[in-house]
Every structure is written in C-alpha cells, then in structure tokens.
Structure 1
Amino acid sequence: MRAKRLTGGVAALLAVTLPLVACGSDDSSSDGEALRKTTVLLDWDPNPDHVALYTAKEAGYFEDAGLDVTFQPPSDPSDPTKLVSTGKIDIGISYEPETIISGSQGLDVVAVGALIPTALLSVMANGDSPVKSVADLAGHTIGTPGLQTNDAFLTTILARNNIDPASVKSVNIGQDLMAAMVAGNVDATLGAYRNIEGVMMTDQGLNPTIIPVTDAGVPDYDELVIIAQASRLKSDPAYQKLIRDFLSGLARGNADVIADPASASKIIAAEADGYDEAQVPKMIDATVPLLKNDKGFGQQDVSDWQAFADWMKSEGLIDKAVTASDVVTNDYLPAGSGS
C-alpha cells in the first residue's frame, strides 16, 4: 500500500544475495535453460502503479524471457537509485526527477524505460484540512516521503506561488502519507498520487483536495521509470541482455493490463496489502489510461528529458547541469515499441 511505511532497513536488503546474473540456478525455463535470477527494487510497497510488473510475472512473461524475477519493496523510496548505482540491485523502479537528480550527483544510473509516462504526484489534503489550494499551504504543515524530488518540488511550488517558505513546515513522514492526512498529523502532503491515494480518499468520502504538481508550476515528466546501472550497461553484454529481456516481458504485461483491466485488478489486489478490494478496480481504471504511451511501450523522449533537466537546473533544483542522454536511453526496449 502506498500509504504504509515499511519495516526493515537497507542493511537487511543488502544481506540478501543479489547477483546481477545468476548461474547454476535450479529453476529452469520451458526450454530447459537455467533461469537468470534478478531482483527488481520497487519505489514503494506493491501498489496499482506496479500492475504491469506483477501482471507480467503472473503471466510467466519473465520466465519466457529466461528470467526468475523477484520484486523487492524498498525500506526507503530513495533506495533504488542508490542501490542500482552501486550494483547491489539489478534493476530499480524510480522517477524521472529522481534519476536526473542522481545524474547531477554522479550516481551510476540510467532510465531504460518509462513505466508510467506522465506525472502523478500531487499536493493532497483531507477534506477537513484548511488547505484547499496551493496558496493555503502558507502557515501549514506539509508531509513528504523524504525524497529529494518531493522536497525540491515543494521549494519551486512555493516560489512559483509567492509563498514564504519560512511559513511552511515540511516534515518527512516516509510512506505514511494517507494515514498522516486522515489522522490530521499534517495539513497536506506532497507525495501522494491522484490515481491511488486520490481514489482511496474520494471513495471513502473524505472529499480530498487534489492538486497535480503540473497545475502548481511543475512541467510534466515520466513519473515511474525503470533504472539500471549505466556503466555496467556499457561494458557487460550479459547485463545488457538481462535488461532487454526484462523490458520485453514487461511490455507484454503492460499490454495485458490495457487489454484486460479486470484480470489485472485481481492480480495486483493479491500482491498489494492493505487495500480495500472494492477500491482496487477503481484504481486500475484510473491507472490504465496512464500506461498508454503514444510513442510505444517504455519510450522516453530524450528532448523532453533535457528540457526537464534544464528546468530543474534553472529552478535551482539541481546544482550541476545534466545531459539527458547520459541518464536516459531507449536502446534496450523491445523492437516495435517505438520509432
């Protein structure tokens, strides 16, 4: 559940053996070859944004590609870029802005495909909150998951709307977004998604205020992206094949979700703890249109990434300019997914 904080730490995650390409596995594909074990570190607890990932696994598409895939929730949403950069994790799910920030800091990551190619992040508040607009953030407390992205966006949103940052108290609430809003521990959050927490709060009659960040001064971007270790992609053919095979299986899962949302809802409901089963189909219905990429599955527009990176630099959200082609590539997507 996106609103729940996970237990455990990075140390426990690192204690697990996570080879980039496993050999000698007892698992075998249908043609008798050993499956390559790979761990994918999610950006959050399993939730409807991950529906294509779990649909691909349930359908056996990763096995068809020769992979034994394990999805690992993070102990912190910032873990994927850190652990993929150091090679401790094969593949991660992260965000375009976080990937750009990581690139500006010299982390060894590159986005190899867009999972959700549009922004979902929103300023959100419970209906009982005094926050009904961006202007209302002045004098109130806003909770974030502690990601650099969210903190940076809050800075620019306040500046764009002429709000004194000293009048806003920002607190790191980790993954406890929904609970913090419902309990009134914060007046608003910047980290919730309109297709998940927005659906949950609306369905529960909480009459939420939902302000997409794109309506508050932030340009559109690819919300969720698949990231890999950049240097290893340049030097390791086995890792290149691993990434290609993973994206190939994921593309098939994504197509299944779009074609049959009802079946996909059942799959993700079995994986995402803490959701009302009656709400999951509504979340999937809100998510499916966002999975449709006009450029083809996974395709990322490098020029758009460059424009967004330049915007981040101009807003002071990153200190060092980023060349988009250093942090994003479409080279490993399956043939036919784009021009």
Structure 2
Amino acid sequence: MKKLLMPSGIGRRTFLQVSAGGLVTASALGRFNPASAETYDGFTWISPRGSLEVLDDYGLWAGKKMGYFGDLEFDTQPGPSDGTATVKFVDVGQADMGYPSPGIFSFAIENGMALKSVFHMGARDTFSLAFRKGEGSSDLKDLEGKTVLLGSAAWQSIVDPMLAVQGVDISKVEYVEAGWPTWATALQAGQGDAALSWEGLRAEWIATGLDFEYWLGVQHSPLFANSFVVRESDLEDADRRAFLVQYLRGWAMGLEFAYHNPRAAVESVFEEFPSLASNLGPELGTTSILQQINVYRGDMDQRAGWGDHDVEAWQVFFDTIHELGQISSAVNAEDYVTNELIAEANDFDRDQVKADAEAYTLSEELEAVDVEEIQAHLFDQAVSD
C-alpha cells in the first residue's frame, strides 16, 4: 500500500499561506507559538474543501444569521484544495480549527501534530463512491483491479479504510488524482471506474449535470465522517477553551435550528453565497442539506448532543487503519478525541431554537419546496442491492 506523505517541499517547519487572490505560498514557521499565546489573535476555522460556496457548513451560516454566536468574532476560510491543509494550517497556527476527515486526521497523528478532535460533526459516514449509471455495484470487492478517482491524493486515506472494512483488498485498487474540482467530470468522461463523493455533494453534482449512481456509506459503512480539530494546547488555556465552547455552541444551535427548518438553513447559505443559489436552486439546495442532516445527527438518541464522539467507534477506526499501515503505531482514541466541550456546547435552550425555526418566514421559492417529497426520494441514486 502506498504511504501518504507530505507534498514535496512542504514539511513540518514550513506552512502554507493563502493570499486574498487565492495564491498559495510557503513561509517559514516562527511567527506563532500556540503554547505561549493566551488569547486568539483572530480565530480562523478552515474548510477541507478549498471552497466555502457549499451547503456543508449550513450550521455555521444559520447560526450566524440567527445571532447564535453572540458577539464572538471569527473568520472562516476555504484554504487550498490540498487535502491535508486543514490539519497542517492548525498545527502551525495559521488557522485555529480544522475540519478533516478521519483519514486526514490520521495523517496529522502520523506526522506528530499535537491536535485533538473536539466536535464530531459527521456521526455517520458521509462518504460514498460514485459510478456511471449502470456500472455500480453493491459489493465493493468488485473494485479490485479497478480505478478510483480522487480530487486530491490525500483522499486515499479516506477511501482505504472505507474499502477495507467492506473486505476489499486495497492493494488491488488503483487511485488516480484527477484534481479539484474536476475528478467527477473525469469519471463521467470514462477516465476511471468510480469516484469518491459525499452526502450533499451528490445533490450539487446533479445541478452541474453529473448524475451518477452511488454506493452510499451512510447506508452501509460502520465508519463516520469529519470532525473539528484544534491544537491540544488550546484546551489547556482557559481563555481559549472558553472561546471554543462559545464558538461550538453557535454551531450546535445552528445545527439544531436547521434540523427543525432545513429550508431556512438553505436560505441562510444562499444569502451568503448568491452564486450558489443560482447554481443549485431551492430544491437541490434543500436536498443537499437533508442529505447532510442525516449524517450530522446520526442516532441522536444515543449521543450526548451535537458533536459528541463515539470513542469506542473511534478506537475501532484507529485500530483498523493501524492494521492497514495508514498509521505506524497503535493509537489510543482518548488521546486524540475528547468530549470535554460537548456538554457546554450543547447547553442552550432547545425550545427557543425550535421556536426560532418554526417562526422563520421563508422566501416564496423555498416555501414551495416539498421537504417530505425530497425525504421520500433521498436515496434514489443508491445502487440496488
């Protein structure tokens, strides 16, 4: 199996910077020492996708619109499309919270980054595999000897464990880095046999004419999806910890609001990004968010609230990727994931948030969207068993 490495020329003593125009450059580490700073000098959350113009972060935009973050000041950045940037930026202080997949988080652990997951967004597995119509399979072992297309080479760390837990011999699977955002069009053009996707994205792909069939992790995978990670040292600083609690509470309230009124959450994202509204429209926007709510909530009856980690499940994940060689040493999950902020982050008036959601006045376009009809067809693209 190929081992994931830092991109050429970027080691732990350098970090990437993104200019206002999107130019990515490397600079020497040295201006920031997380352990010595008592308060955040501008808190930054960084996306793993290279773009913020998606519906995935609806909890943030809904919470921001509804005032759930209070007077908290923070920045939200897309980062470069390099799959590992979301952890590298946090590690060196260029950002303060990242949103990596579990596989990318394992890359951080393997490379000695002192990061900790504090809020588990994706309780279920959001990841899926897209196939051209009529070419999908419900048995992923059929991918042995075939090619999977990725937007970033780093995404191999996402797909390997997803395949391995389904009994696939991953040494027999080829990966091709087809680039962001072109890996899906490469699949449509016949350049591979499958492509990595995720909930929410498959609705967005329909809007661009990319209509595939899918093996859906949310239906079949025992794994889970992305979480929010911070520097471990920030949890030891009282001021920073208090900031993190308030910030995560804003997210939790936004997620709760969207659960009660998903169309209002769509509207909050569309107001932030009008071009996304034009590209998707109300129905596909609502479809995207409904797909993601299913992932983010998981089995909420078994969770301590939004962001709660199932530590036992994380231990199984770490044990699995150790067996695969994705990490070289065995990992104790409790060293890298924590629920210490979850009770405080979920300490809000749920009845009031529900009332806010129910009282929200939708635009005519979103009012016309039939949520129940979309729910009834949410998994129509799934490959038949």
- Is 2:147–2:173's contact at 8 Å kept on the other side of the alignment? no
- Is 2:245–2:344's contact at 8 Å kept on the other side of the alignment? no
Compared CA separation, residues 266 and 156, structure 1 to 2 (3 A): closer
**Alignment of 1:315 onto 2:324:** yes
Compared CA separation, residues 271 and 137, structure 1 to 2 (3 A): farther
Q: Spell out the pairing of 1:113-262 with structure 2 (5 A cutoff).
A: 113-127=119-133, 130-132=135-137, 134-146=140-152, 148-151=154-157, 153-154=159-160, 157=163, 161=167, 165=171, 168-190=174-196, 192-193=197-198, 195-201=199-205, 208-213=212-217, 219-221=222-224, 223-234=225-236, 236-262=237-263
Match of 2:25 in 1: 11
- Is 1:127–1:206's contact at 8 Å kept on the other side of the alignment? no
Compared CA separation, residues 314 and 285, structure 1 to 2 (3 A): same
Instruction: Give the distance between the partners of 2:263 and 2:162, measured in 1 at CA.
Output: 39
C-alpha deviations, 1:250-272, integer Å up to 9, x for none? 11111111111111011123345
TM-score by length of 1: 0.78
**Alignment of 1:42 onto 2:82:** no
What one-letter code is carried by the residue in structure 1 that aligns with 2:326?
Answer: L
What one-letter code is carried by the residue in structure 2 that aligns with 1:288?
Answer: I
Question: Which 4+ stretches in 1 moved above 6 angstroms?
Answer: 12-15, 17-23
Instruction: Give the distance between the partners of 2:313 and 2:32, measured in 1 at CA.
Output: 33
Q: How much does 1:19 deviate?
A: 11
Q: Secondary structure at the match of 1:94?
A: coil
Q: Secondary structure at the match of 1:49?
A: coil
- Is 2:83–2:154's contact at 8 Å kept on the other side of the alignment? no
Unaligned runs of 5+ in 2: 1-20, 348-385
Aligned residues: CA RMSD: 3.4
Unaligned runs of 5+ in 1: 1-6, 24-34
Instruction: Give the distance between the partners of 1:284 and 1:300, measured in 2 at CA.
Output: 22
What one-letter code is carried by the residue in structure 1 that aligns with 2:90?
Answer: V
**Aligned positions, number:** 312
**Alignment of 1:292 onto 2:306:** no
Instruction: Give the distance between the partners of 1:78 and 1:310, measured in 2 at CA.
Output: 21
- For residue 58 of structure 1, the aligned residue among 59, 65, 71 is 65
Q: Secondary structure at the match of 2:116?
A: strand
- Is 1:119–1:214's contact at 8 Å kept on the other side of the alignment? yes
What one-letter code is carried by the residue in structure 2 that aligns with 1:186?
Answer: G
- Is 1:112–1:331's contact at 8 Å kept on the other side of the alignment? yes
What one-letter code is carried by the residue in structure 1 that aligns with 2:289?
Answer: I
Instruction: Give the distance between the partners of 2:170 and 2:344, measured in 1 at CA.
Output: 49
Q: How much does 1:131 deviate?
A: 4.8
Q: How much does 1:169 deviate?
A: 4.7
Q: Secondary structure at the match of 1:48?
A: coil
Compared CA separation, residues 13 and 115, structure 1 to 2 (3 A): farther
Q: Mean alpha-carbon deviation: is it higher for 171-180 or for 303-312?
A: 171-180
- Is 2:118–2:341's contact at 8 Å kept on the other side of the alignment? yes
Q: Mean alpha-carbon deviation: is it higher for 316-325 or for 253-262?
A: 316-325
What one-letter code is carried by the residue in structure 2 that aligns with 1:174?
Answer: W
Kindly, what percent of the aligned residue pairs are identical?
21
C-alpha deviations, 1:313-336, integer Å up to 9, x for none? 122221111111121111123437
Q: Secondary structure at the match of 2:227?
A: strand
Compared CA separation, residues 68 and 147, structure 1 to 2 (3 A): farther
Instruction: Give the distance between the partners of 1:183 and 1:297, measured in 2 at CA.
Output: 39
TM-score by length of 2: 0.70
What one-letter code is carried by the residue in structure 1 that aligns with 2:125?
Answer: A
Instruction: Give the distance between the partners of 1:155 and 1:292, measured in 2 at CA.
Output: 22
Q: Spell out the pairing of 1:94-105 with structure 2 (5 A cutoff).
A: 94-105=100-111
Instruction: Give the distance between the partners of 1:310 and 1:98, measured in 2 at CA.
Output: 15
Instruction: Give the distance between the partners of 2:27 and 2:182, measured in 1 at CA.
Output: 21
Match of 1:74 in 2: 79
Q: How much does 1:36 deviate?
A: 7.3
